[in-house]
Amino acid sequence: MSKFFMYGSELQELEQLMMLVPNFLPRRSGVIVVQRIRNEEVPSGFERDYEHITAYCSSNGSRSFTNQIAGGYINYEEIVCSCFEKCESHHLNVRLGDLIRSHDGELFLSPKHRSRFQTVCRIQSEAIENRSSAYLATLFLLTADDNLWCAAKDHIYLDSFDFKKMHLNGINTDGYAIYQMSKTIQLAKEYIKLNEISDKHLIGEQAFKGIINSILIAKYGAAMLQANC
């Protein structure tokens, strides 16, 4: 994602509009009205230099914890809180709270999303327990959005993804955010920022859900896909 230099200032919305990806459709139709109170104070803990997305994606959950996830002994709220327990972003914590309250027990964004993911796993004939956490999380994201899937499906391999060949024409900003998160997880380089994920004006609820759940998969691996939480 683009780096915003005016975040938290009165020019924030204007910069966000200027930095939209060329030829990409906006996430919502209609006229965008800049109406945020100017000079609104941003909590000091909103984003610190050491708050990197990749830190949350590292696969370092204990075997005991992941076994409890797979067995359904730990609920979704506990999993999210464990993953983001050191997060100091006020905005992200607010969104995480909303996500937890709206959780319906489904990790995938739609039945179509689940079907695409499972189809790829079946075609590859590789048990998810044998796949790396990063691979599963990346595949989870690339199968989440209809247009992104059309761009990605011919460039998904048994042990890699060819992002350079994924042509994203016609994708909307939510789909683009999901794509950037997939690159962040797979390549361990930040293509999307914590403040962008936290911003409701940039990323919709479904895309946010997909991104957060992909982070949980990246951290806890196949256990998240086997969980009943």
Which has more pLDDT, 84 or 29?
A: 84
Q: What is the pLDDT of residue 41?
A: 41
Instruction: Give 7-31 pLDDT, tens digit per residue.
Output: 555 556 556 655 655 544 454 443 3
Q: In 10 A of CB 186, how many CB atoms?
A: 22
Q: Are 229 and 72 in contact (CB under 8 A)?
A: yes
- For residues 122 and 11, give the distance between their C-alpha atoms in angstroms, rounded to a whole number: 48
Which has more pLDDT, 97 or 26?
A: 97
Q: Which residue's structure tokens are 């460039």?
A: 155
| CA neighbor of 176 nearest in space, from 53, 48, 26, 65 | 26
Residue 128 confidence (pLDDT) above 80: yes
Long-range contacts made by residues 23-28, C-beta under 8 angstroms, separation at least 24? 23/169, 24/168, 24/170, 24/171, 24/172, 24/173, 24/176, 25/170, 25/171, 25/172, 25/173, 26/172, 26/173, 27/172, 27/173, 27/174, 27/203, 27/204, 28/204
Mean pLDDT is lowest, of 43-57, 116-130, 136-150, for 43-57
**What percentage of the chain reaches a pLDDT higher than 90?**
64
- What are the two backbone dihedrals, phi and then psi, of residue 102, each rounded to the nearest 5 degrees? -95, 0
Q: What is the pLDDT of residue 62?
A: 80
Q: What is the pLDDT of residue 49?
A: 43
Q: What is the pLDDT of residue 84?
A: 93
- What are the two backbone dihedrals, phi and then psi, of residue 138, each rounded to the nearest 5 degrees? -65, -45
25 strand-pairing partners: 172
What is the mean predicted confidence (pLDDT) over 118-130?
93
Which has more pLDDT, 15 or 36?
A: 15
- For residues 159 and 107, give the distance between their C-alpha atoms in angstroms, rounded to a whole number: 23
Query: What global pTM score does this model have?
Result: 0.78
Q: In 10 A of CB 45, how many CB atoms?
A: 13
Give how far Cα 123 sits from Cα of 6, 49, 95, 116, 142, Å.
46, 41, 35, 11, 16
Residue 158 confidence (pLDDT) above 50: yes
Q: What is the pLDDT of residue 60?
A: 72
**Quick one: DSSP state of residue 218?**
H
Instruction: Give 63-75 pLDDT, tens digit per residue.
Output: 889 989 988 899 9
Side-chain-side CA neighbours of 192 within 13 Å: the count stands at 28
- For residues 113 and 124, give the distance between their C-alpha atoms in angstroms, rounded to a whole number: 17
The whole-chain average pLDDT of the chain stands at 84
What is the mean predicted confidence (pLDDT) over 28-47?
38
Q: What is the pLDDT of residue 32?
A: 34
Q: Which residue's structure tokens are 């024409």?
A: 169
What is the mean predicted confidence (pLDDT) over 181-195?
95
Mean pLDDT is lowest, of 61-65, 72-76, 136-140, 158-162, for 61-65
Residue 211 confidence (pLDDT) above 70: yes
Q: Are 227 and 32 in contact (CB under 8 A)?
A: no
Which has more pLDDT, 181 or 25?
A: 181
Helix (H, G, I), strand (E, B) or coil at 25: strand
Residue 59 confidence (pLDDT) above 60: yes
